[in-house]
C-alpha cells in the first residue's frame, strides 16, 4: 500500500529537522560540496543521528540508491546499508531529500488567438 502524500512529506520534514539540528542549512542541501563539507565536520554521534533519521523515515527513492535494479528495494536490508554507508552515499541521500523537499510550482496558461478584422 502506498503512503499518502502527507506521510511522505512528514517523513522528509523529519529528516530535514534532524539535519537542521546537526547544523545543516536546509536551503543548501542541493550542493554536494556543502553537504560533504558539513558531513566531514560532524562528530560520530551526529553522523549516527543522521543515519538513524534515514532509517526511521525510509522512502522508495532513498532505497533506489542501494537497490537500483529492484523496483521497490529490500526493506530488510535498508537499515544495514544505511548504517554502513560512506560519506559519498550520505551526500547523495541528503541531496535527494533536498530535492524532494522543494516546493514544486506548475504554471498553466491558455493560448489566446488573435482576432483578425
Measured CA to CA, the distance from residue 22 to residue 100 in angstroms comes to 20
What percent of the chain is modeled with pLDDT above 70?
90
Q: How far is CA 53 from CA 76, 97, 107, 110, in A?
A: 16, 11, 34, 44
Between 34 and 114, the higher pLDDT residue? 34
What is the domain extent for residue 16? 5-101
Residue 75 placed within a domain: yes
Q: Residue 2: what pLDDT?
A: 46
Q: Among the listed ranges 65-69, 74-78, 113-117, which one has the minimum average pLDDT value?
A: 113-117
Which residues have CB under 8 Å from 53's CB, separation 6+? 14, 15, 18, 19
Residue 10 placed within a domain: yes
Residue 114 placed within a domain: no
Q: Residue 3: what pLDDT?
A: 56
Nearest alpha carbon to residue 47 among 78, 92, 81, 82: 82
Residue 109 placed within a domain: no
Residue 117 placed within a domain: no
Residue 45 placed within a domain: yes
Residue 107 placed within a domain: no
Model pLDDT for residues 8-38, shown as the tens digit of each residue: 788 899 999 999 999 999 999 999 999 999 9
| SS3 category, 92 | helix
Number of domains in the chain: 1
Q: Give the chain's mean pLDDT.
A: 87
Q: Is the pLDDT of residue 63 over 70?
A: yes
Between 76 and 91, the higher pLDDT residue? 91
Amino acid at each position: 500500500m502506498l503512503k499518502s502524500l502527507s506521510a511522505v512529506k512528514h517523513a522528509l520534514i523529519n529528516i530535514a529537522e534532524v539535519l537542521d539540528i546537526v547544523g545543516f542549512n536546509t536551503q543548501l542541501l542541493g550542493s554536494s560540496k556543502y553537504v560533504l563539507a558539513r558531513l566531514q565536520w560532524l562528530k560520530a554521534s551526529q553522523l549516527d543521528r543522521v543515519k538513524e533519521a534515514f532509517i526511521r523515515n525510509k522512502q522508495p527513492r532513498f532505497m533506489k540508491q542501494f537497490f537500483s535494479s529492484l523496483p521497490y528495494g529490500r526493506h530488510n536490508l535498508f537499515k544495514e546499508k544505511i548504517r554502513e554507508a560512506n560519506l559519498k552515499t550520505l551526500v547523495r541521500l541528503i541531496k535527494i531529500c533536498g530535492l524532494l523537499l522543494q516546493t514544486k510550482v506548475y504554471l498553466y496558461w491558455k493560448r489566446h488567438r488573435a482576432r483578425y478584422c
